Amino acid sequence: MTNKPDIPPGATPGEPARRRPSRWLPSLVWLIPIVAAIAGLSFALNSWYARGPTIDITFRSAEGIEAGKTKVRYKDVDIGQVKSIELAKDRSHVIVEVELTANASGFAVEDSRFWVVKPRIAASGVSGLGTLLSGAYIGVDAGRSQEREDSFTGLEVPPIVTADTPGKQFVLHAGDLGSLDIGSPVYFRRVNVGQVVAYDLDQNGKGVTVRVFVRSPYDSFVTTSTRFWHSSGVNLKLDADGLKLQTESISTVLLGGVSFIDSPHLPPGQPAQDDAVFQLAGNQDDALKVEDGPPTSAVMYFEQSVRGLSPGAPVDFRGVVIGAVRSIGIEFRRDTNSFRLPVVVDFYPSRLGLRRTGEPGALDEDAERRLMDVLVRRGMRAQLRNGNLLTGQMYIAIDFFKGAPLPANMGRSQGLDEFPTIPGAFDELQGKLADIVDKIGKVPFDTIGRDLTAALAGMRETMASADKLVKRLDGQVAPEIVATMEDARKTLKAAEGTFSADAPMQQDLRRALRELMRTANSLRQLTDYLEENPQSLLRGKPKEER
């Protein structure tokens, strides 16, 4: 069915009227660009609202950074992207322009830190291995400042501790850095509780300043009574208790480290504040030793060699270390045209049982001098001694020596008290050995040698003559000697038979001896009787006695 115009029946249809389409209706052709424009505007607005601040970061080089690709990440979340990289006018560094996202505008503050994350091997370990596949990116440590900043100096190495890590930093002063490095561990009772975060030379160049970070809650163990020391390397000690080996861990032996603990000689302290300053001792013994107070210095002059004596060597009094060697020098004496060796030492009065300077009851300078004069008059002297026969290390021993030569009092030299010395026992032994050598040198070994040579020559001639004589005896005299010996043997055998107990001669001899004894007895009785009765020689023996 079709729609037809309403024409009365019989009427003729007129001419059709031409109508133009309405102009206010948009053509479909324009719909596409309109939609595109709306989409572009929406994208532009979204981009405008998503766009954050633009900052500049300077690095020494642009290694691993690419414009339009390298991301800026915080905790693995993208917060920006590198827009461009330019070389500085002086070509000393590069300037990286970074566009942060809108929600990352809080990172553009003055204490924020930026660095390039890439594979690294450091004392703290290996890091950035994930960037081997994903590529390097710029890491950021969010600052806490409220001051806006759009220009930063990038870190060449990642920070050991970020701002959001709870804990405290402490400042340590030491004579040298030792084997410490950024990332070296910090131990408390052999537990790793922190790391070394920075170090720098002191302005006067006489030491180093080390900053360490101790994580929470271990930072509460750092108090005003805490002592820090180098725990690097191996501490090997040989004493009366035997051989002692002390070390923290293998990593500290290789990479160094710092340890701390409260001093047992001090009362419990209060928790240390952030950035509190401490001294970093060379080892645990030095860190935990009793405070000695200010030392009293003196100079000692030695005539003999001081080889093996070095600054820091102990000054010993009967086994107790009462001081240390500060310096060793050499001095020419014009009056004697000789050299002597001044050794400056530091005494600690507290180690001698005296009160430290500034304490109640402590001796003043004049009283200390009078006391030392008294001790010197009693024979107190300093003597160089060998502390180790293997290494040849020397130390200074203070003791009383009977018959010590003068001076009787301490003098003054180089603005210091001059403490008298006495030659060492080894030097005395060396002198005696030298005297013995001199005496041996005076022995006429050459003359003795010549005489000995002549004597040996005569002895050789004598031995040759004796050899000839023996040979002649063997050939001529020996047979006669054998015959003589045979005759002697026969004679001895005959004598043995003659003098044997059952030999006839022995029996006859015994019989003769018995007769002789009876005869002697009769003569003794006769003489006795004549002595008593001499008249019997004239009258004879009475009848009653016959």
pLDDT digits (tens, 9 = 90+) for 173-192: 998 888 888 888 899 988 88
Per-residue pLDDT for 24 more than 70? no
* 470 confidence band (pLDDT: 50, 70, 90): low
- 399 and 420 in contact (C-beta within 8 Å)? no
In whole angstroms, give the CA distance from residue 500 to residue 453.
59
Interval 220-234: pLDDT, tens: 999 999 999 988 766
Per-residue pLDDT for 483 more than 90? no
Q: Which residue has the higher pLDDT, 63 or 361?
A: 63
**Percent of residues, the chain, with pLDDT higher than 70:** 76
At 348 the pLDDT is 81
Mean pLDDT over all residues of the chain? 79
Q: Which long-range contacts (CB under 8 A, 24 or more apart) does 119-125 make?
A: 120/157, 120/158, 122/157, 122/181, 122/182, 122/183, 123/181, 123/182, 123/183, 123/184, 123/255, 123/256, 124/160, 124/182, 124/183, 124/195, 125/183
Taking CA atoms, 538 is separated from 60, 104, 529, in Å, by: 166, 177, 14
At 343 the pLDDT is 92
What's the average model confidence in pLDDT over 515-540? 72
Taking CA atoms, 432 is separated from 87, 389, 435, 436, 437, in Å, by: 79, 20, 5, 6, 9
Per-residue pLDDT for 498 more than 90? no
Q: Which residue has the higher pLDDT, 347 or 477?
A: 347
Strand (E) or helix (H) holding 524: helix 504-532
Strand (E) or helix (H) holding 339: strand 338-347
Q: Got the DSSP string for 256-273?
A: --EEEEE-TTS---PBPP
- Within 400-424, residue ranges assigned H as helices are none
Interval 303-340: pLDDT, tens: 888 888 888 888 888 888 888 899 898 888 888 888 88
Point out the least confidently predicted range of 207-211, 353-357, 395-399: 353-357
* 1 confidence band (pLDDT: 50, 70, 90): very low
Point out the least confidently predicted range of 57-66, 153-162, 488-497: 488-497
Q: Which residue has the higher pLDDT, 535 or 70?
A: 70
Backbone angles phi, psi at 134, to 5 degrees: -85, -15
At 485 the pLDDT is 67
Per-residue pLDDT for 46 more than 70? yes
Q: Which long-range contacts (CB under 8 A, 24 or more apart) does 192-199 make?
A: 193/218, 193/221, 194/167, 194/218, 194/219, 195/124, 195/160, 195/161, 196/160, 196/258, 197/159, 197/160, 197/161, 197/169
Point out the least confidently predicted range of 396-405, 413-422, 499-508: 499-508
Interval 237-285: pLDDT, tens: 655 455 566 666 666 666 678 899 998 878 888 889 988 999 998 888 8
Interval 154-178: pLDDT, tens: 988 888 788 888 899 999 999 888 8
At 425 the pLDDT is 65
In whole angstroms, give the CA distance from residue 146 to residue 394.
61
Q: Tokens for 522?
A: 């009769």
Closest CA to 411 of 421, 402, 423, 401: 421
Closest CA to 419 of 460, 384, 456, 454: 384
In whole angstroms, give the CA distance from residue 484 to residue 90.
128
Interval 69-126: pLDDT, tens: 898 989 888 889 999 999 988 888 999 999 888 888 888 888 889 998 888 776 666 7
What's the average model confidence in pLDDT over 387-416? 77
Per-residue pLDDT for 146 more than 90? no
- 231 and 248 in contact (C-beta within 8 Å)? yes
